[in-house]
Structure 1
Amino acid sequence: MSASVLTFPVGSDETIDYVGRVRALGPEILATADEIEDNRRIPKSLLDQLLAAGLYRLLIPTCYGGGEVHPVTFFNAISALAEYDGTIAWCVGQANGCAMSAASVPEEVAKEIWGDPSAIVAWGPGRGRAAPHGGGYRLSGSWMFASGGHHATWLGTQSTAILDNEGNEQFTEDGNLVTRTFYVPAEAVKWKDIWDVIGLRGTASDAFTIEDVPVTMAYSVKRDNVDEVVVKSPLYAFRAKNLYAASFSGVALGLARGILEGFKDLATDKKGKYGTVPLQDNAVAQADVAVAEARIRSASAYITSELADIYDDVCVSGALTPEQRMRIRLASTFCIQEAKVAADIAYHSAGATAIFASQPYERRYRDLHAVTQQIQGHKVHYQTVGSYLMGHEPDLTSM
């Protein structure tokens, strides 16, 4: 990808205050938190408002009615959502990562899938097989962890093997299996409830199967292959996994912020078991708040600075370098881990109060620790980046 790809205006999102839109929805998000947790769904009335606010269209190209926002704008919007509810932030972030594919499919396909303002695409890991049939293929397979998939209008089938006319899998010269991600209408899939979990329950990241559904190559992408990008703008020099890194960092830091703010509110009234003054006047609690605040702020500043600098470079070069991809991975992993530490500080400082479901800690705490279990937050990334920093060839598998 060369600098010639930069044909769309930069910064078109600056006229829209997406964080302000999130803040306006905040009270209703908080009011429906228990319903989201219990039913493992975002209520339709709230979903409609999230869609109307354009929050599911942040990474869709402007030429298809999307926001095509700066990565920092995306991070800030997701982080703000997570302050109110981790499930919503996670689902919105996931759907936006899927929506980046709109820049890589033919125009008529993009308009069919994402042209409807209520369009949502979800996907998850799994395996499928696409067997040649007429001028297209017949698709079958199973996938899981499709966050927010029950609200989706289309589903993506990652790692679908393209079979030859004899029904055999095909491989590249490098020995890699030839795969594509196909898009199918939501009504074509069958769901299986697998999401009995302790955190991010409302995402309903269930499994789905597809059996012998007709598809064509036009409704497919090779995920994160920038060579297939047809909407030539700086945002789409980033891969979906780069923006997922920003999203999940935002979810983690937003949840940590929500826990910390909850503790600040508690500290105005609560006294320690052996204390005679409110926690807000307790020296240990004061120090804990300061340390947690510093961790959240420094982590947020780190990743937004990296995203801003890298985006500026991409506007000149037209492509992400391996070094820049490593920087995004390092910043995002650090953010997720720092969010966990900051939240642990505030949660512990709240004492026994924090374990009650009626308090603003317990669900956020479970949600945040669910985020840390996802591959984006795994500490193994430190080793991968560290190896590169010490002179080894970059392993870009997760970058």
Structure 2
Amino acid sequence: MSEQVLEAVRDLVPAIAARAGEAEEARRVPESTIKELAGTGFFRLLQPKAFGGHEAHPATFYTAVREISAACGSTGWVASVVGVHPWQLGLFPVRAQEEVWGADPNTRISSSYAPTGKITPVDGGFRVSGRWSFSSGCDHADWVFLGGLVPGPDGTPVDMRTFLLPRADYRIDDVWHTIGLRGTGSNDIVVEDVFVPEHRTLSFADTSVCACPGHEVNKAPLYRLPFAAVFSTTISMPIAGIAQGALDAYLKATRERIRVSYGGQKVAEDPHAQVRIATAAGEIDAAWTLMERNIRELMAAAEAGEEFSLKLRLRTRRDQVMATARAIRAVDLLFENAGGHALKEGHPVQRGWRDAHAGRVHAVNDPERALTLYGMGALGLEVTDTMI
């Protein structure tokens, strides 16, 4: 069934590409695109079967994300982020899953994980207030995941949790005016002193050790995967797809492009352009191949009931940040050689260049932290970071 979903998504790619400009102008993915993606079953790929999902192999999900992103970076970004949330909800207590999907298994969730709000423990749950930024696709969701630090008696944080809130408990502040990923509608979420019951929260400590309340009902290996691996790949995969889209657009334009200042030389015959193409294509392939390899190895370990080795966890994070770096290098090589026409509004190469760089600034793409962790592990030093 998941392969049928993938084929249906591929059939939508031309229409998604045709609406890329519309997404940028509206600063959100067109409603028609979201409805069509939902109709393919894409948003249910990682959803538990108990609630009408497919429990697909994550590599299938990421393949779809890559192809959507090649057509429109903003659409691919929203598809990836919103599409992975059913997997995370599958880790929550079953009562929370029933509240979201009980009436409508197609209900979608957006997110903002940076713990910028105020969390106050109370009987039965928490009081939540504050502003959270960068909630991609929030206009297309009826619930939201928000990150928050839980204070102890002395005010010092003792836990970090994800809080699940329904649309009635927050408002969306339209602030998304950017130079890249403009169509993602990554607006602010504002919450004013709302009660969130305990069962609609999930501790990052549980996700770090892959032991979550949702495992009681969702026993498939998919839900045993490390949160850090799934989440970070979800952020980097659209960037790799965006780079592929830029390469495809560059090749299409370059086959017919003429350099007047070089005596009418066909750019396609320029060996320097050919080297850029080869280098960019190699970087993109490496980005995808290494991320896919790690996800497949993690899934194989989960299916075998094995513990995830520290080496594999660290390598997954290493390859994820390097995948983003490779994609950025690829789009830079292409944009530098795309000519003046690529500067025009609506040109897919310059859009890809802007979108890829916009995705790069996400905190999970910071290379120094992930690479330092890998180096520490390789040297036999203790690694305690929760994002591995």
TM-score (norm 1): 0.88
Q: How far did 1:241 drift?
A: 2.7
| Corresponding position: 1:349 with 2:337 | yes
Matched, 1:153 2:142: yes
Question: Among residues 345, 358, 361, which one is paired with 1:373 in the alignment?
Answer: 361
Q: Secondary structure at the match of 2:150?
A: strand
Change (3 A) 1:301 1:139: closer
Cross-structure match for 1:301: 289
Aligned to 1:81: 68
**Structure 2 residue aligned with 1:90:** 77
Give the conservation status (yes or no) of the 8 Å contact 1:139–1:215. Answer: yes
Question: Among the aligned pairs, what percent are the same residue?
Answer: 27
The answer to whether residue 188 in structure 2 is matched with residue 199 in structure 1 is no
Which residue of the other structure, out of 208, 211, 214, is the alignment partner of 1:227? 211
How far apart are the structure 2 equivalents of 1:137 and 1:177?
14
Deviation string 1:254-311 (CA, Å, 9 cap, x unpaired) is 1111111111111121112314342222222222212211221122222212221232
Question: How many Å separate the matches in 2 of 1:128 and 1:55?
Answer: 34
Q: Quick one: structure 1 residues 68 and 384, their matched pair in 2 at CA, closer, same or farther if it must change by over 3 Å? A: same
Contact (CA 8 Å) 2:125, 2:198: kept in 1 or not? yes
1:384 aligns to 2:373 (yes or no): yes
Aligned: 1:46 with 2:33: yes
Structure 1 position 128 matched with structure 2 position 118: yes
Cα distance in 2, alignment partners of residues 189 and 201 from structure 1: 23
Counterpart in the other structure of 2:347? 359
- Within the candidate set 315, 324, 339, 2:327 is matched to 339
The structure 2 residue matched to 1:217, chosen from 187, 198, 201, is: 198
Q: Aligned-residue CA RMSD in angstroms?
A: 2.2
Q: Which amino acid aligns with 2:119?
A: R
Q: Offset of 1:38 from its aligned partner? A: 1.4
Amino acid at match of 1:323: K
Selected match of 2:10 from 23, 26, 33? 23
Give the residue type in structure 2 aligned to 1:393.
E
The match for 1:5 is none
Q: 2:171 corresponds to which residue? A: 190
CA-CA distance at 1:136 after TM superposition: 4.8
8 Å Cα contact 2:21/2:346 also seen in 1:
no
Partner secondary structure for residue 304 of structure 2: helix
Contact 2:131 2:191 in 1 (8 A): yes
Kindly indicate whether residue 97 of structure 2 is the aligned counterpart of residue 110 of structure 1.
Answer: yes
Q: Which amino acid aligns with 1:227?
A: A
Asked whether the 8 Å contact 2:225–2:298 carries over to 1, the reply is no
Deviation at 1:160, TM superposition (A): 4.9
Instruction: Assess if the C-alpha contact under 8 Å between 1:241 and 1:398 holds in 2.
Output: yes
Partner of 2:276: 288
Name the aligned partner's letter for residue 18 of structure 2.
A
Residues 309-324 of structure 1 aligned to structure 2 (within 5 Å): 309-324=297-312
Residue 114 of structure 1 and its aligned partner are, at CA, apart by 3.1
| Alpha carbons 1:91, 1:148 under 8 Å: kept | yes
Cα 1:378/1:275, change in 2 over 3 Å: farther
Instruction: Report the AA paired with residue 205 of structure 1.
Output: S
Q: Which amino acid aligns with 1:354?
A: A
Could you list the per-position Cα deviations for residues 65-96 of structure 1 after superposition, in whole angstroms to 9, with x for gaps in the alignment? 12222221122111111101111111121123
TM score, norm. by length of structure 2: 0.90
Query: How many residue pairs align between the two structures?
Result: 377
Secondary structure, in 3 states, of the residue corresponding to 1:56? helix
Contact map agreement 2:95 2:199 (CA 8 A) in 1: no
1:91 touches 1:147 (CA, 8 Å); kept in 2?
Answer: yes
Between 218-227 and 69-78, report the one with greater CA deviation. 218-227
After superposing the two structures, state which structure 1 stretch, 124-133 or 39-48, moved more.
124-133
Q: Distance in 1 between matches of 2:126 and 2:323?
A: 42
Letter in 2 for 1:194: V
Distance 2:5 2:333 in 1: 30
What SS does the corresponding residue of 2:176 show, helix, strand or coil?
coil
Q: Against the structure 1 CA distance between its residues 17 and 277, is the aligned structure 2 distance closer, same or farther, given a 3 Å change threshold?
A: farther
How far does residue 396 in structure 1 lie from its aligned partner after superposition? Answer: 2.5
Letter in 2 for 1:215: V
